[in-house]
């Protein structure tokens, strides 16, 4: 599920997607135009990896795209089912993990995340380009269901039989601050597991054994069902990837907190 800069440099024929994105900006496309991995094309998290949000309706701020729309986006970016896809962002793989998860959910068999992202690539002294490559259309066919996911009702009931991990920062989990969504707090019974603890100072994932110890400390022991959510299903995809690296299958609540709070009947916990 991960690949090193050297591994990518030695891998011929792969589709490379630049998924640099920041919630508060600047747009990732600007970074892409300033320099990117050769052959990489820019994949917009907001439009290629999510459907348009429809507040105050369901789905959250980054709803799961429909199969036809996602298939069209991936074909436009040159993705084919018969070739590996490498995804990367700046460093910590938060946005890249959303691309990894969405491609896997829609059935792509070989998706890998560049561990350490663009920062690791440049630190390795590998080449960077500023021109946009002209890639032929791909033939990827989207077939949903390749990864488990949770609807709101399932997420709410999940702590009764498993561990639901909240991937947001502790202060947002506790409800002390909420800079993005109109309601602060967390899903009752969820356990806080900030994604920042999944990576080292350089943004690379911790070794699988260390990730396993981390999640076991949060209650995800062998045989325990695991699920994850965040604000809008982006950092939670990073949590799911970290869990998979530790050998733990996990489901994603794509709509996450921004979907949960659209119904006043759903309970909110703080502290």
Active site residues: 230
Maximum distance among all Cα pairs of the chain, rounded to whole angstroms: 54
Burial of 106 (0-12, 13-18, 19+ CB in 10 A): buried
Sheet holding 251-252, edge to edge: 191-192, 163-166, 226-229, 251-252
22: helix, strand or coil:
coil
Q: How far is it, in rounded angstroms, from Cα 138 to Cα 142?
A: 12
Main-chain dihedrals φ then ψ at residue 199, nearest 5 degrees: -130, 165
Helices (H), the chain: 5-9, 28-34, 45-48, 67-76, 94-105, 117-123, 152-157, 170-174, 208-217, 235-245, 256-260
Q: Which residue has the tokens 């369901």?
A: 58
Q: Which of 256, 259, 268, 270 is nearest to 101 (CA)?
A: 256
How far apart, in Å, do the first and last CA atoms of the chain sit?
A: 35
Task: Answer whether 229's CB lies under 8 Å from 187's CB.
Answer: yes
Rounded to 5°, the CA angle 196-198-199 comes to: 80
């Amino acid at each position: 599920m991960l690949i090193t800069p050297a591994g990518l440099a030695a891998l011929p024929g792969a589709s490379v997607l630049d998924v640099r994105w920041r919630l508060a900006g600047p747009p990732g496309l600007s970074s892409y135009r300033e320099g990117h991995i050769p052959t990489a094309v820019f994949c917009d998290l907001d439009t290629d990896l999510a459907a348009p949000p429809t507040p105050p309706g369901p789905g959250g701020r980054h709803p799961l795209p429909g199969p036809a729309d996602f298939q069209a986006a991936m074909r436009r970016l040159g993705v084919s089912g018969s070739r590996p896809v490498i995804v990367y962002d700046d460093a910590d793989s938060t946005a890249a993990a959303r691309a990894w998860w969405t491609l896997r959910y829609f059935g792509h068999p070989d998706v890998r995340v560049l561990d350490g992202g663009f920062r690791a690539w440049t630190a390795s002294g590998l080449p960077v380009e500023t021109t946009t490559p002209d890639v032929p259309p791909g033939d990827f066919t989207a077939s949903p269901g390749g990864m488990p996911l949770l609807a709101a009702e399932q997420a709410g009931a999940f702590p009764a039989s498993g561990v639901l991990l909240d991937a947001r920062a502790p202060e947002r989990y506790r409800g002390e601050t909420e800079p993005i969504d109109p309601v602060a707090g967390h899903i009752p019974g969820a356990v806080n597991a900030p994604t920042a603890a999944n990576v080292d100072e350089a943004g690379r994932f911790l070794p699988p054994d260390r990730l396993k110890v981390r999640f076991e400390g949060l209650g995800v022991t062998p045989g325990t069902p695991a699920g994850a959510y965040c604000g809008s299903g982006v950092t939670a995809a990073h949590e799911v990837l970290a869990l998979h690296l530790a050998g733990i299958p996990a489901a994603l609540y794509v709509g996450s907190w921004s979907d949960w709070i659209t119904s006043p009947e759903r309970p909110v916990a703080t502290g």
